[in-house]
Amino acid sequence: MSYQNEMQMYPDVVQWLRRFLTGKLPDSHIDVRDTHASPLNEYIQRHGLQNYFRGDLWQTYDIRVDISAFVESDKVLGLVLVECKTVPISLAHLSQLLGYSRVALPVQSYLISTAGAGNAVQALILRYDRTDILEYHWEKGQKPRRIVVAKWDARSKTIDYTSLLPPGS
């Protein structure tokens, strides 16, 4: 199976993310949605998803994210973001999701592509150990939150866990 465009990936990515998060956070309420068609703040308002946030900061999320997961548990309240690509992941793609992640401060953030990471992204992370380019949130006493870059396997409809950047994410 191959995808002609990003939108064809969305249903498979939604299903994968739902399974992945349910396995990782079994006692959570998880609602995964294709949110690409409108700004996230408008989507949250229109679909009554405000309860997934503390306060009203979500109203500033004037960003268009491909896939958003809304997560609620005793320990987690917030978002997981996923951007999908069908071309090698470039620094421009990474910058796009980095900006979205700096605005929304998701619990997790994924940049996936059927073609995997491009040469510049791989070199910065693997050769030059610049994992700092993936960081979007720093909480005192915690490891920084980082974007996870991965290749999407269209055949198995999941990410290729051997392709994760940074490795071991």
pLDDT at 167 exceeding the cut of 80: yes
pLDDT bracket for residue 2 (50, 70, 90): confident
Residue 75 has a pLDDT of 84
Cβ atoms within 10 Å, residue 154: 15
Q: Domain spans of the chain?
A: 6-164
Whole-prediction pTM value? 0.96
DSSP letters for the chain: ---SSHHHHHHHHHHHHHHHHHHHSTTSEEEEEE-TTS-HHHHHHHTT-GGGSSSSGGGG-----SEEEEEESSS-EEEEEEEEESS-B-HHHHHHHHHHHHHH--SEEEEEETT-B-HHHHIIIIIS--GGGGEEE--TTSPPEEEEEEEEETTTTEEEEEEEESTT-
The sign of the torsion formed by the CA atoms of 101, 107, 113, 118 equals: positive
Tell me: the pLDDT tens digits for 19-31? 999 999 999 999 9
Whether the pLDDT of residue 165 is over 90: the answer is yes
- Which band of pLDDT confidence, cut at 50, 70 and 90, is reported for residue 168? confident
Torsion on CA atoms 157, 160, 166, 168, rounded to nearest 10: 110
117-153 pLDDT, tens digit per residue, is 999 999 999 999 999 999 999 999 999 999 999 999 9
Average pLDDT, the chain: 96
pLDDT at 117: 98
Beta-ladder partners of 162:
none
Assess whether pLDDT exceeds 80 at residue 1: no
